[in-house]
Structure 1
Amino acid sequence: MQNPALVAAATTNTGRHFAELPATASHGPLRIEYRWVNETAADAPIAVFLHEGLGSVAMWRDWPQTLCERLGVRGLVYSRPGYGQSTPRAHNVKWPVDFMTAQARDVLPALLDALDIDMRERQRMWVMGHSDGGSIALLYAAFYPDALAGAVVIAPHVFVEDISVQSIAQTKRLYESTDLRDKLGRYHADVESAFYGWNDVWLNPAFKQWSIVAELASIRRPLLAVQGRDDNYGTMAQIDTIADRVPHARLVKLDACGHSPHRDAPERLNEAIGAFVLGSGDS
């Protein structure tokens, strides 16, 4: 039974739920939007999906469903604070340079606690992260090396490259001069919260020194890192660095694919993830 002090869930006709997380040293009380995929498969392992820097539950579209069916797992899809229908970022608040660390160390474990996902379930759990979500997945795997079956990271960032900053600056120009704001507004209750929370921290000069390379050596569980060769937000140096620091990691480099393989090359991505996860013996 869920602890009513930790979680209060409300279901909508879209299958959306909300979890209430208590305040901690790194954040105040939070309302987290989440959705289950294949929820009735109660005995199946869980795959937790961690979205990109402008993502949300809705922006994944049907990819989590497709992948979960292929893997035979349940999926937990949620919007991080500041995104989707989750608690928005106050407009006068700037995210700190280590904002992804707080998401991996505090927010994700608090959500798992609130949903009564116990340690036995977590030891069979896969974390699937894209872009910023990939970085958070790596950090979670490093901080809690025994609390997951493995991780799949898609176009993750482990340090800051000029190409990333340049593309993010270009995205800001598009947001402020085209209909990008309206398009993103379909997926976020407070689009300004989502966009500037992400954009401001990435364009903060202090963020150029951000790196999680040192943390990678703590990852013990199976790890798959995937990146498109045409990614305009990062080079292959990102996943090559992962391979240098995590010798057991497996890399997949996709031709004719940009920053979002689950949109650009979903069949090839699902094939690679399926072969890796199902071959690991943990699904």
Structure 2
Amino acid sequence: MQNPAVGTAASSTGSRFAELPAGASQGPLRIEYRWVNEAAREAPIAVFLHEGLGSIAMWRDWPQALCERLGMRGLVYSRPGYGLSTPRAHEVKWPVDFMTLQARDVLPALLDALDIDASERRRMWLVGHSDGGSIALLYAARHPDALAGAVAIAPHVFVEDVSVESIAQTKQLYESTDLRGKLGRYHADVDSAFYGWNDIWLNPAFRQWSIVDELASIRQPLLAVQGHDDNYGTMAQIDTIAERVSHAQLAKLDACGHSPHRDAPQALNDAIAAFISPQRS
């Protein structure tokens, strides 16, 4: 059930909205987005792709800090079902290939709607976290000439038992603690956001999901980051990326869980800057 009070709490200062036509996987869709360092029109763009329960607001100030460090513009947006974007209808279940649909249809449609042309896309960097990291990998594999490179932070390339177990525990917390209220600060329809993500990850059919075979198509520079203390995935995720993408660089962070931009922001920013800066020189 949509909660208007939660929607008010989720309001994001500076957000704008792009209208995507029917055909963008679910369309028509209303996508919440925000620019970082918008005035730097000549700078390359970093597109931030949030986690499975994320939104513009949940990134907090990390995209700003990273863009300032890199001298880039940032495009931050809430995927359908999250933040203030078009919510998922409660009777709709995300399909097993929902991340592929985001990379294949929704992100390109958003770039079109914002008039980000081919030359800008060739200079564009994707920075994705968790499900967003998987979407970044899928976009890089499917659009190898439409980006400069990608950073995948705690991405999923196949389903591990630890992921499913942690997501099942999160469902228990959502239904028995104040987690729902906390997440409601970031989503206009918090149940839409939560159950869209939770239901598909706990769907038995999703256990066979894998994007490992697609990784070999990635040609542009790629950095994969994982925390040693991540309870949603193991180092096998980024080690598999390295096996399939010979030029990929890995960063394995100590004292870091599933959200390096919150758990170890300095180490993460240092790793990303060391990766991207030489590519731009």
Give the corresponding residue for 1:194: 193
1:124 aligns with 2:123: yes
1:210 corresponds to which residue?
A: 209
State the match for 2:108 in structure 1.
109
The corresponding residue for 1:100 is 99
Distance (whole Å) between structure 2 residues aligned to residue 133 and residue 13 of structure 1: 20
Deviation at 1:25, TM superposition (A): 6.6
* Alignment TM-score, normalising by the size of structure 1: 0.95
Structure 2: runs of 5+ lacking an equivalent: 1-10
SS at 1:35 equivalent: strand
- Matched letter for residue 262 of structure 2: R
Aligned residues of 2:24 and 2:109 also touching (Cα < 8 A): no
Cα pair 2:80 2:88 within 8 Å, conserved: yes
Q: Which of the pair has the greater relative contact order for Cα pairs under 8 Å at 6+ separation?
A: 2
CA deviation vs aligned residue, 1:104-142 (integer Å, no higher than 9, x gap): 000000000000000000000000000000000000000
Aligned residue runs from structure 1 range 1-283, under 5 A? 14-24=13-23, 26-281=25-280
SS at match of 1:65: helix
* Counterpart residue type for residue 208 of structure 2: Q
RMSD of aligned alpha carbons: 1.0
Unaligned runs of 5+ in 1: 1-11
What percentage of residue pairs aligned between the two structures are identical?
83
SS of 1:19's equivalent in the other structure is strand
CA spacing shift, 1:25–1:270, aligned 2, 3 Å: closer
* 1:108 alignment partner, SS class: helix
* Shift in Å, 1:13: 8.3
Q: Is the 8 A contact 2:34 2:76 kept in 1?
A: yes
What CA distance in whole angstroms lies between the structure 2 residues aligned with 1:217 and 1:281? 23
CA apart distance, 1:14: 1.7
Deviation (angstroms), 1:26 = 2.6
SS in 2 for 1:128: strand
Q: Distance in 2 between matches of 1:278 and 1:41?
A: 17
Task: Give the number of aligned pairs.
Answer: 271
Give SS of 1:238's match: helix
Aligned partners of 2:55 and 2:184: how far apart in 1?
11
Structure 1 residue runs of 4+, over 3 Å off? Answer: none
Deviates more, 1:16-25 or 1:108-117: 16-25
